Amino acid sequence: MKKILIVFSIIFNLSSNVYAQEFKLEKIVEGLDEPWSLSFIDDENIIFTEKPGKLYSLNLKNKKIYKIKHDLKFLEYGQGGLLDVLYRDQYVYISYSENRGNWTTSTSVAKGKLNKNSIKFKNIFRAEPPIDSKYHFGSRLVIKDNYIFITAGERGQGMIAQDPTKHPGSVIRINLDGSIPKDNPSFKDKSKKDWLPEIFQIGVRNPQGIALSPFDNKVYLSNHGAKGGDWFGAANYGENYGWKILGWGGTNYSGTKIGPKWKKGFTKPIKYWVPSIAVSAILIYKGSEFKEWNGDVLITSLKDKSLRKIKFKGNELIDEEIIFKDEIGRIRDIKMQKETGEIYLLTDDGSLWRMYK
């Protein structure tokens, strides 16, 4: 077993915070090395990534951790490494910064069948071109029907997000086997015939959250702005979120202006954050443990160290509440155990938490 495990519970009565409700947080494991993502294999077992390059399974009942061997050619470089992981029907999908040689990398996605404690992966997507940059891989994954959606960050290259002949700065939609859907925008819209065939939407910066709503069957994103301008919004077929024509209310880190918050012709987010909260993974909740949250999106934050809840309808924001803040550190990922509705949170300090009543 890899790590020393500590389990304890904290009961939060958050009368001093924005969201006043009693719930519990249980630390399941600590001492992980930059964990980035988790996915449920079944009711008792999860698979998770560590950004430096290791892949593990964890039994939530006996707290045992097992290393999973893999053959991915990754490069841990800045924000890159092993990133999102998604388990579905005996197969594991994983996003990672693929080593393309001479310090160039790409946001790549591979698929492999889980065979006890090893996986042989095969790429199903590579963001082209490879770029020498340690920033903005995006890399979140979600499956809708027979499609997998992939967020490809713009790698710090700004206006590349407006160039649909390149993948960085876009939302990708491919089939689960890596083939290209014949109803993607480049095939169906004459004005988008020059788009790369995998591209579903352009104009994003660094989307580190993606989720499928079990209520309207739509895909939603969270995206890092620059100095201000984080947002939450829908993934819309053939549309453009505007980076770096738009600044979404933020500025460059130097303080110089980027562009307007929004203008006609571009996709408008449901919610902006100015200043930034460093928005990370998201979950549109449907479960029994917190049934009063059904239909709301749970938003995790890195810099702000908060878990937030947004109520929305269509593209309209109804309200936002902070569930807790400054309690468990920078929150990297969020998932729900479907049978119980309990919530699991991964933090940058190397801990996995269970949230329940």
Q: Write out pLDDT tens, residues 194-226.
A: 999 999 999 999 999 999 999 999 999 999 999
Residue 40 CB neighbour total at 10 angstroms: 18
Rg of the chain over Cα atoms, rounded to whole angstroms, equals 19
Q: DSSP states of 268-302 as a string?
A: PPSEEESS---EEEEEE---STTGGGTTPEEEEES
Q: What is the pTM of this model?
A: 0.95
Identify the weakest region by mean pLDDT among 1-15, 18-32, 235-249: 1-15
- Cα atoms in the Cβ-side hemisphere of radius 13 Å centred on 187: 10
| pLDDT at residue 4, as a whole number | 37
Helices (H), ranges, 63-204: 185-188
| pLDDT at residue 7, as a whole number | 42
Round to whole Å and give the CA distance between 220 and 270. Answer: 10
First to last CA, the chain: 29
How confident is the model over 281-294, as a mean pLDDT?
Answer: 97
| pLDDT at residue 13, as a whole number | 43
β-pairing, 54-59 with 35-40? Answer: unpaired
How confident is the model over 340-351, as a mean pLDDT?
Answer: 98
- Tell me the pLDDT tens digit for each residue of 145-180: 999 999 999 999 999 999 999 999 999 999 999 999
- At 22, is the pLDDT very low, low, confident or very high (cuts 50, 70, 90)? confident
The phi and psi torsions of 235 (rounded to 5 degrees) equal -85, 115
The phi and psi torsions of 188 (rounded to 5 degrees) equal -105, -20
SS3 47: strand
| pLDDT at residue 67, as a whole number | 97
Sheet of strand 343-347: strand arrangement: 8-13, 22-29, 351-356, 343-347, 331-336
How confident is the model over 115-125, as a mean pLDDT?
Answer: 95
- At 19, is the pLDDT very low, low, confident or very high (cuts 50, 70, 90)? low
| pLDDT at residue 230, as a whole number | 98
Residue 223 tokens read as 């995206």
- What is the length of the chain? 357
For a pLDDT cut of 90, what percent of the chain falls above it? Answer: 93
- Tell me the pLDDT tens digit for each residue of 5-15: 444 444 444 43
Round to whole Å and give the CA distance between 340 and 317. Answer: 28
Given a cut of 60, is residue 1 above it in pLDDT?
no
List of domains in the chain: 8-356 (2.120.10.30)
Given a cut of 80, is residue 82 above it in pLDDT?
yes
| pLDDT at residue 116, as a whole number | 82
SS3 161: helix
